[in-house]
Chains A and B, each alone.
Chain A
């Protein structure tokens, strides 16, 4: 029963991810990837890691999907321009060969490995235990992570922001920045 749930979740996640990366309409890709990320959150729920499942839903289904959609909408030329030009068949073939080779190596090595059987009872970690882990042994990592998030979000704003003075100070003949 639980194995059937796992296989169903895996099929939904893999199918939506594969279709999303094969489509030519970027908005459809982003929306299908939301389903894929939700399937991964379902896997975390299945495995008993509820807090990680909710973090996955908040961060991926909620935040990253919105950032991706904004990026798609900000980088199109016109109102109807969301389809990307087709890539070459040779490129797709080479990528499929490389990915298939990696998959073959991984599958053979996983299937031929005997893992020591873990506990039969479902593993569940409470939020209290998790909080004690995060605030106790991993407190330094948590602080560093906060600094990383702050710096990267500030950096993202600096990279993506339009700098008006910079464009005016450029010498003529250089690449012009298009300021709306």
Chain B
């Protein structure tokens, strides 16, 4: 059985998604969970580029435009997420997820 390059790209992105998923599920440090989520987002971007690369009409550039928007939104998400981490640290003196279990201001 021979796999086309598109299959290889999709397998690559699924493997990256699962690395991010396992990281986000198994660690209890907030920063590492956020980094796992970032990896999963990157895996989705890989899919967009792979399908754009092997699409019948790559000149339309839809996948590329979508990935650009996705990267910009990911940047905003990372900034807000890490600001939340710093805010949690100021209240709890700790960034373990298990200990951030109150909503007191």
Which residues of A are interface residues toward B (Cβ below 8 A)? 2-3, 6-7, 10, 13-14, 17-18, 20-22, 26, 29-30, 33, 36-37, 40, 43-44, 47-49, 51-52, 55-56, 59-60, 63-64, 67-68, 70-72, 74-75, 77, 84-85, 87, 91-92, 94-96, 98-100, 102-103, 106-107, 110-111, 115-119, 123-125, 129-130, 133-134, 138, 141, 145, 148-149, 152-153, 155-157, 159-160, 162, 174-175, 177-178
Contact = CB atoms under 8 A, between A and B. Distances in A.
Given A63-B75, A84-B29, A115 B80 contact: no
Contacts of B45: 40, 52
B49 A55 contact: no
Contact of B38 (A13, A52, A64, A96): A64
B75 A17 contact: no
Closest 9 CB pairs of A and B: A21-B23, A123-B58, A118-B54, A95-B26, A95-B25, A99-B22, A152-B76, A156-B83, A106-B14
Given A21-B35, A36-B39, A59-B72, 13 more contacts: A29-B35, A64-B38, A84-B29, A84-B32, A91-B28, A94-B26, A95-B22, A96-B22, A99-B22, A103-B18, A153-B76, A156-B83, A160-B87
B4 interface: yes
Interface of B: 1, 3-12, 14-23, 25-29, 31-32, 34-36, 38-39, 42, 45-46, 49-50, 52-56, 58-59, 61, 63-65, 67-69, 71-80, 82-87, 89-91, 93, 95-96, 104-105
A107 B85 CA distance: 34
Contacts, number: 243
B89 A75 contact: yes
Contacts of A37: 42
A96 to B, nearest CB: 6
B63 to A, nearest CB: 8
Given A29-B35, A99-B25, A68 B82 contact: yes
